[in-house]
Structure 1
Amino acid sequence: MEPMLSGRLIEGGHRLDVRVYFEDTDFSGVVYHARYLHFLERGRTDYLRLHGIGHRELMDGRFGEPMAFAVRHMEIDFLRPARIDDVLTVETRTALLGGARIVLDQRILLDGEPLMTARVKVAVISPEGKPRRMPTAVAERLGAGPAAE
């Protein structure tokens, strides 16, 4: 796996650079608001991946019973627009690690300036969609901070 393709772990979190393409924008070249959700999802997925927690491994039961993460609630604050060809940085940090959920703080930055912020509550669920407790191995991987950048 190419480390930069999945971003990089930083102290307390993760950073992923993404470029804004034509498909991400509206007719005026400004990023369409729903596309930010895609960028945030990529950040969350690669944050987990670099901690050794891939979605496929979760569903295959690598950490015990098969499980998945599902976004339960999201609060978003749009601050400034991004535009075509911008290179954005998606930051993801664990704010709270509970028995059956994770709360993540995410930001999308352009040249270090925040364009949007999000607080994302993610539930741990079974393949049938029922809530379940987070396996200890998953909690330990997300609770341990990586070396500083």
Structure 2
Amino acid sequence: MADVEPDIRIQAADFDVAEEIARLTKGRKDIGAVVTFTGLCRDEAGRLSALELEHYPGMAEAEIRRIAAEACTCWPLQGLTAIHRHGKLNPGDNIVLVVTASSHRQAAFEAATFVMDFLKSRAPFWKKEHGADGSEGDWVEAKEADELAISGWKR
């Protein structure tokens, strides 16, 4: 497998998907597939005005780096970028981006799915809902579906 150093960032600022693809593929002629996943803030059928994301600095980066490094050992990747935002985000705002690059599409798809499944379940982020009616909601509980998603991966 290629020796890939994943680009991991946790930031308040937005990201540009096209810029991140260009950064990952610049000057590379061995890449045949790029897969991106962008997670967006939803309004939950008009119920939410914002979603507040907090993380455990240092630990969140380390966990995402560990997940990304594992993906790089399991699939033949030429590049991997994972960006997760924090702070108060409005519906429609970007939350998370995973970009995987490989010679072939299957590896890129599988690695991106793996990273998202584990990032969502294992990286130390917390989400607090802010209601459209001005109320401050509760912290969002983990979903059983997220745990089920990672249980299907053989490691």
When the two structures are superposed, what TM-score results if normalisation uses the length of structure 1?
0.31
> Taking CA–CA contacts closer than 8 Å with sequence separation of 6 or more, which of the two structures ends up with the larger relative contact order?
2
- Greater helix proportion: 2
When the two structures are superposed, what TM-score results if normalisation uses the length of structure 2?
0.30
